[in-house]
Amino acid sequence: MSKKALRKSNIREVFQSKARFFSILLIIFLGVCFYAGIKATGPDMINTADTYYKDQQLMDSKIVSTYGLEQKDLDKVSEDPNVKEAVGSYTVDVLEKKENMVLRLMSYDTNHSSPINKPLLVEGRLPQKSGEIALDNRVTELNKYKIGDTITLDTDKDTLKETSYKIVGLVKSPMYIDQVSRGNTTIGKGSIDLFGLVPKEDFSLEVFTEIYITYHNTEKLVSYSEAYDKQLEKNQKQLETLLEPRTKERFDQLKQEGTTKLAEGKDKLATGEEALKQGEIQLNLAKEQLQTQRANLSMAESAGQSVPNEAKEALAQGEKELATKEKELKENQKSLDKSKKELADQEKKLGDLKEPEYLYMDRNDNPAYSEYKDNADRISSIATVFPVFFFMIAALICLTTMTRMVDEKRGEIGTLKALGYSNFDIAKKFIIYATLASVIGSVLGLLVGFYVFPTVIFDAYGSLYNLPPVIITYYLSYSVQSVIVALLCTLVSAMVVLRVDLLSTPAVLMRPKAPKPGKRIFLEKIPWLWSKFNFNQKVTARNLFRYKQRMLMTVLGIAGCMAMIITGFGLKDSIGDIVDLQFYKIWQYDAMVTYNPDATKEETKTYETTRDEQTNVSHHIGLSQKTVEVLKDGYKKQEVVIDTPKDTESFKDFMVFKNRKTGETYKLDDSGVIINEKLANLFDIKEGDTLSFKAPNDKERQVKVSHISENYAMHFIYMTPTYYESVFGETPEYNVDLLKFKEKITDKEEEELAQSLMDTKKAINVSFTSKIGSAMDDTMGSLNVVVWVLIISAAMLAFIVLYNLTNINISERIRELSTIKVLGFYDKEVTMYVYRENNILTALGILLGSALGKLLHGFVIKTAEVDMMMFPPDIHPVSYLYSALLTILFSTVVMLVMHRRLKKVDMIEALKSTE
């Protein structure tokens, strides 16, 4: 045979064994598609958001102040060499009475001189003149307003020059990437429904409400990256240093302005009092004159003298003017009393005046921005574990398939060696075969994986975020990794197996391998059991233990796929259980009211009266909430909320403390604190240990951990008022009110309740457990799409694995099956001869896969969790059932396919001697 003929033979091999070639290609395709697709999804999500932020010039930092910000503050910020642009802006929250909505109005520069936080126009146009507004695109979902409508606002001229606005456009904003939430406010029902852009000139405010900033040194850094966050932190510290002198300067300015205004007021009051005094003197003189006139007229009339009408009219006119003068003096007196009160208030405020506080915020303070990062991180976390396990199963099957191919070609290899071909020439067939299958499978897998997985998963988040379509990126690193692993699975495994045959002599290779010697199996040594087996059962048992490698490969292959399917269903269970467990079983309250720290006693009393009059509210309890950072050397610090209930005994009706594993319930006592399980895991804390934390502007403090309680969202430390006082040296400030309803209420009733409580001025926010739970359910629901992708991918792999292993099994035993067919076995009996073994191996694979799935699920959820969340680790029994039924279904389908193949077996050809 010439080398040309050998080359033809090498190419022909692909077409002569299409089923095997396609099965290898398909396994590689699935492995690469899944690996590259899942790996690319997280980075694609980040890249899409980052591109959008850069295109719309989303601010890097935001500065607000307790007394507003002046042009001097803006000029000072602009002096920072790192600052690319700084813009003063106005924001005000207003009520819209017609639809009972709260709007957040933001200033828009109609001259387009400021590109920061550029709105994305969806429909219509942007405002061009006073009285025009571009409204949040979310208004289309609410079916409230459309372009051309006029919206009337409940505001005053001190805030906005206009109260009615014509809607000229619908927009999206990079500051509001969340599809639903628009944040909280201190007016109305406590939550914002829509944002709107109005011309900057329409604001009547004397100072900016915030300053937005972008930096030069963050332009090329990727949002959410560690490098970006570190640079942002440095920039903000530099700004704080730069603006530090402004604190005292602004305080002195406010003090001076207040003192001047107070002095002017006092002067004005003194002038008014002097005028009032002069008026009273004049009034008294006028009264005396009128009294004299009245006495004269009276004497004249008594003496019978005629009194001229002019005199009477003059007296009447004088009395009328006197009454008017008296009324004017009373009004002046009221005005002066009011001025005195206002001056007293001003004097008190001036005395209580504190230094202005400058607050520095960045993108991470936007909940939607941070939540998006958490979602991308979850995908990336899953991508670190699941695809690797997926590829391991694919590699195992490829190794088995290539091993079988080499075994089939033993005679051909021996013949070629006898004809004098070199080992390399002989190996070319396997190199070409494996390389073609790997490369074609890899290329197709990369093309499909890089596009389909990010698109499907990102679209699942479309209901949550206002972002443009995902930007598909073909990553070279993942591509190279995928091709290398694919070649390792096929080419390297083929070369390892081939090496043994290439070192053998032609005579050995041209003879078929001796069959495995028949040996007594373990069951045969138990006569009472073995004797009860019929012929078919004995053959099945012997075949299973005779071919141990085949048995092991089949069990491991099925177990691996079963484990991945169970992990997928288990993730679905864990994700779906969070909301129900956290918001309805652990948190037993229905609403949380946050207090205004500046509320007066009268406003507090009004709130309590209003709350107690609510027919829906059955119980309430005061709660002290304080945010601290938990610290421990060698561990990442965590933000934790300290909850201290006013009534410890009643708190059990609002919060359930129990051990997740044992079900034991706990009560708060004065001996220590209760912390959540995830916090304990992060800091490796056990019951009886000490926990350290630090509040802002406070020293580090320590508490003893009495119990560790089940909890799935955020971190908490719970303590009694007595223990709080022993830790902090002061009584807790009860700044939150938890409410419990008699029964579930509607969304409209929730809004009405929030509105009535917010109107008291004591409440600055009312949040409902149902709303928070629903928002989290939406987020978790989007992650369910990822889970279904995992389940479907694992199921497809399971089908291919079963098909491949069964195909190899039948190919290896074709002579054996032909023999029993010749002996008179019917087609169904021949099929069952093989499938009795397969059913047993499938059952073993399912059992082993269930155990592996539990372990893999536990590992995946630990990896996928973010610090502020814990996934329930339990898998529902029905998930094991679904996974087993899927595996059995695939096994049955494969059996039907193979049954058709066995019916067409050429017995004479199969039984021909190879020698």
Helix ranges, 121-225 (H) = 139-142
Instruction: Report the range of poorest mean pLDDT among 148-157, 463-472, 665-674, 861-870.
Output: 861-870
Instruction: Report the range of poorest mean pLDDT among 217-221, 668-672, 902-906.
Output: 902-906
- What is the spatial distance between Cα 134 and Cα 197, in angstroms, rounded to a whole number? 5
Write down the pLDDT at residue 776. 77
The predicted-structure confidence for 20-68, as pLDDT tens digits, reads as follows 788 888 888 888 888 899 889 989 999 999 999 999 999 999 999 988 9
The predicted-structure confidence for 539-574, as pLDDT tens digits, reads as follows 777 777 776 777 787 888 888 888 888 988 898 888
Write down the pLDDT at residue 915. 44
Tokens of 67: 């007394």
pLDDT > 50? residue 794: yes
Displacement of CA 88 from its chain's centroid (Å): 31
Write down the pLDDT at residue 307. 64
Who wins on pLDDT, 822 or 594?
Answer: 594
Length reported for the chain: 915
pLDDT > 60? residue 1: no
- The burial of 456, by beta-carbon neighbours within 10 Å (0-12 exposed, 13-18 middle, 19 or more buried), is given as middle
Write down the pLDDT at residue 2. 61
Give percent of the chain above pLDDT 70: 96
Contacts of 742 (CB under 8 A, 6+ apart): 615, 616, 617, 618
Q: What angle, rounded to 10 degrees, do the helices at 410-418 and 367-408 form?
A: 60
Highest mean pLDDT among 106-120, 310-324, 450-464, 618-632: 618-632
The predicted-structure confidence for 58-99, as pLDDT tens digits, reads as follows 999 999 998 899 999 999 999 999 999 999 999 999 988 777
- Residue pair 711/719 in contact by the 8 Å Cβ criterion: no
Q: Which helix (H) or strand (E) holds 518?
A: none
- What is the spatial distance between Cα 430 and Cα 407, in angstroms, rounded to a whole number? 12
Write down the pLDDT at residue 906. 60
| Residue burial 146-177, b: 16+ Cβ < 10 Å; e: rest | ebeeebebebeeebbebeebebbbbbbbbbbb
Q: What number is the average pLDDT over the span 886-907?
A: 77
3-state helix vs strand vs coil in the chain, percent to 5:
60, 15, 25
Q: What number is the average pLDDT over the span 701-715?
A: 92
Give the number of other CB atoms < 10 A from CB of residue 823: 7
Q: Phi/psi class of residue 370: alpha, beta or left (left: φ > 0; alpha: ψ in -120 to 50)? A: alpha
Can you count the helices (H) and strands (E) in the chain? 24, 20
Strand locations in 687-776 (E): 690-694, 700-709, 716-718, 736-741, 763-768
pLDDT > 50? residue 620: yes
DSSP structure string for 204-218: --SSBSEEEEEESTT
Give percent of the chain above pLDDT 90: 31
Highest mean pLDDT among 372-381, 629-638, 710-719, 887-896: 710-719
Write down the pLDDT at residue 239. 93
Name the residue among 312, 325, 249 with its Cα closest to residue 281. Answer: 325
Q: What's the farthest any 2 CA atoms get from each other in the chain?
A: 167
The predicted-structure confidence for 226-265, as pLDDT tens digits, reads as follows 999 999 999 999 999 999 998 888 888 888 888 888 888 8
Query: What sign does the dihedral 176-181-185-187 (CA atoms) show?
Result: positive
What residues are paired with 591 via a beta bridge? 739, 768
- What is the spatial distance between Cα 101 and Cα 423, in angstroms, rounded to a whole number? 81
- Residue pair 414/502 in contact by the 8 Å Cβ criterion: no
Write down the pLDDT at residue 519. 67
Highest mean pLDDT among 502-506, 512-516, 718-722, 762-766: 718-722
Q: Global pTM?
A: 0.78
- Residue pair 578/713 in contact by the 8 Å Cβ criterion: yes
Who wins on pLDDT, 116 or 397?
Answer: 116
Give the number of other CB atoms < 10 A from CB of residue 380: 18
Q: What is the mean pLDDT of the chain?
A: 85
The one-letter amino acid code at 230 reads K
Give the end-to-end CA distance of the chain in Å, rounded to a whole number. 20
Tokens of 334: 């009221």
DSSP structure string for 185-210: -SSTTSB--EEEEEEGGGB--SSBSE
pLDDT > 80? residue 858: yes
Instruction: Report the range of poorest mean pLDDT among 626-635, 826-835, 875-884, 901-910.
Output: 901-910
The one-letter amino acid code at 551 reads M
